Chain A
């Protein structure tokens, strides 16, 4: 029954999305209000229908309906209820349905919130969001259907959405016995939250894209679409950033290689929209403030959406494994087709409006040191980073396989050669741009503003040399560039608060709070810059100064490494409640003769794969990270450990927290009507009602 409910709801959602597209376009062309409202209602209905469909799948997962092949493939009787729920996005079929649900919810929210204020754009916003949604629901219905069930046709078991002729349902207990269970890699807190965060980030970028295309289609090329989507863009960026950070944390905890970013194509596929989205966040400010870069912003918003669709396509079609597996994948061609069509239509719309002279800039660049010029440079660097990472992840492997018949992988070597100069350029611009003014800035004025942050950076570097004995020129250069950006953010906030104190006589806390309240976007942005600075320091420390060793120890033996001692105390073989076998090593970490921690690095043995779970002693200074990589089979008298010392790695996570905080500040709605005026309006309304 649940399969039928899910299937029918998904099909109806598909029909509603198609109806909304057609009616919205007709309504928009004819200016027929009734049709546009009908299209909106159909669009809103897709959310309800997809909620029902997703609810049916979750209910099937929770109640162990193994006849549904999706439930059978991602859970088994030993799967705990919590993981049953998260199994919704544990595999491709469920995750595309979940993606569709999130997209319909985002689209509905965008329609409801902007319905009155941006009426002219609405028909086309409906058309674009529903076109994207209809495509993904189409994938669910025709290619990756999570409501398919197992049937026995003769002696053969087949998985289909519709009941084949002469089919019988397989025995429930037999299905339960053979069920696959959830991929062990997904049994981690980071992995539970990481995919929904990424999906929210991805689908969130559909909204600014739909508004931009609506602006092009409707001809309302003022800043309306930007105002309507500013917060949506920030929200999408926030979720994508959180998704990336959680993905890094998951890799660090679960994948057992001592790092958080491996430049893997799947990771990079999520990083690419973030890069273009960040460029767009900066560039769109220029259009708002100066009416410039209209065409460029359109390209960036299309680029972000394209990167989202391409990333999804690349990671789900098998393209990363090989171009041939892309061709074999069922969703490879449909996704590629959709990506191409939507990109071509969007680019065509831009060219059409451009030819009509409707995308002319209101102002021109007058000074190379103006904030807008520096933002353009920042955009260029973001685009270069995008190109370098895209090429390394997808371009070179696909080109070499297609044209040279050679399968290659570009690994960390490539990315560490190509990207550092670009990151350096980004941090330099992040340090300088906030100090320049819109319109024009003189070199002298900019130089004067830089004196204090530069002096603070110099003090920090001297302190590093004296106290930490850091003499590596590369590291000092990196720390210097990165911390300059952070000091500029702090200094600008300090300057703003000082100005308020002088003019209004406010206390320090009050001045800072008022400063953030008055311009949340700007000062929230500085907090984000501070977060990125802290992440940068963490990345430099953990990349340049990571130490690692591998050693086999007998029970009681000690390994001295990096100023720490690791003693192997013993070995435990246990069975967990969910049936996995755990091989646990007990070790003691000490420093200078003082015991710091007792760790239990382990290997979890699942029927499908083993997982190496690290034991870690974590401080702000460094992580002492221990992996159990082998043991003597019969008595476990000896075990092999891989030990990493990752300096400053926790700054990556703390920087991420600050980045999220800053984005929340920037996203938080600003009161457009002062409280006093609102109160006055309430009083006036009350009097008017009393008179009536």
Chain B
């Protein structure tokens, strides 16, 4: 019986020590700093001011949002989960790149598509010049101005305009 009592006392002391140690350990490894909050806030935008990142905005609304981020970090939420939570509540406007797949594709892919189109057009133009080079060289010496006929026709039109 005594032995059992002793074991129980030892276990209770161990539990008590453990209970004291847990918060201390949690603080050591998982304390949320202002830098942690700002690292996430930097990727978000102020709910009040236009186009100001959340980490640098000084409004009261932004202070509240940063506090919310801090609380969620303390509760163990990941960066993605926190951002998704804000997006679900306030819409895609709160992030620098939309999370919605359609909007994200629209935002990120469109400029490349337009760009590719421009490059293709430019390439096509260059190719046409490249191919036409031989024919033109045969017809007229490089650097020669437009033909006399063209020039005369243009002159005639100008003179007609002045009459």
Asked whether A380 lies within 8 Å of B111 as measured between CB atoms, the reply is: no
Asked whether A407 lies within 8 Å of B114 as measured between CB atoms, the reply is: no
What's the Cα separation between A550 and B45 when bound, in Å? 19
Interface residues on B, range: 35 or more
Contact with A along B136-161 (1 / 0, CB 8 A): 10000011011000100110011001
| Chain B nearest Cβ from A113, distance in angstroms | 26
What's the Cα separation between A412 and B122 when bound, in Å? 29
What's the Cα separation between A366 and B119 when bound, in Å? 19
For residue A358, CB closer than 8 A to chain B, the reply is yes
Contact of A392 among B103, B111, B157 (CB under 8 A): B111
For residue A404, CB closer than 8 A to chain B, the reply is yes
| Chain A nearest Cβ from B94, distance in angstroms | 8
What's the Cα separation between A395 and B56 when bound, in Å? 26
Asked whether B56 lies within 8 Å of A410 as measured between CB atoms, the reply is: no
Contact of B122 among A358, A376, A418, A610 (CB under 8 A): A376
For residue B76, CB closer than 8 A to chain A, the reply is no
Contact with B along A409-428 (1 / 0, CB 8 A): 11111100110000000000
Given A219-B158, A640-B34: A391 touches B103 (CB 8 Å cut-off): no
Interface residues of B in 17-54 (CB under 8 A from A): 33-35, 38, 43, 45, 50-53
Contact of A410 among B35, B43, B96, B115 (CB under 8 A): B96
Interface residues on A, range: 35 or more
Nearest to B39 among chain A residues (CB) is: A548
Asked whether B102 lies within 8 Å of A418 as measured between CB atoms, the reply is: no
Given A262-B51, A387-B114: A612 touches B129 (CB 8 Å cut-off): no
Contact with B along A252-273 (1 / 0, CB 8 A): 0001111000101100000000
Asked whether B91 lies within 8 Å of A406 as measured between CB atoms, the reply is: yes
- Which residues in B have their C-beta under 8 angstroms from that of A407? 91-93
Nearest to B98 among chain A residues (CB) is: A408
For residue B126, CB closer than 8 A to chain A, the reply is yes
What's the Cα separation between A551 and B37 when bound, in Å? 12
Beyond A384-B115, A407-B93, A418-B112, 11 extra complex contacts between A and B, CB < 8 Å: A219-B157, A264-B51, A321-B50, A356-B157, A360-B150, A364-B133, A366-B142, A400-B107, A411-B45, A411-B95, A548-B38
Which residues on B are within 8 Å of A, measured CB to CB?
Answer: 33-35, 38, 43, 45, 50-53, 55-56, 58, 91-93, 95-98, 100, 102-103, 106-108, 110-112, 114-115, 118-119, 122, 126, 129-130, 132-133, 136, 142-143, 145-146, 150, 153-154, 157-158, 161-162
Which residues on A are within 8 Å of B, measured CB to CB?
Answer: 31, 219, 255-258, 262, 264-265, 291, 320-321, 356-358, 360, 362-366, 368, 373, 376-377, 380, 383-384, 387-388, 391-392, 395-396, 399-400, 404, 406-414, 417-418, 548-552, 610, 612, 629, 640
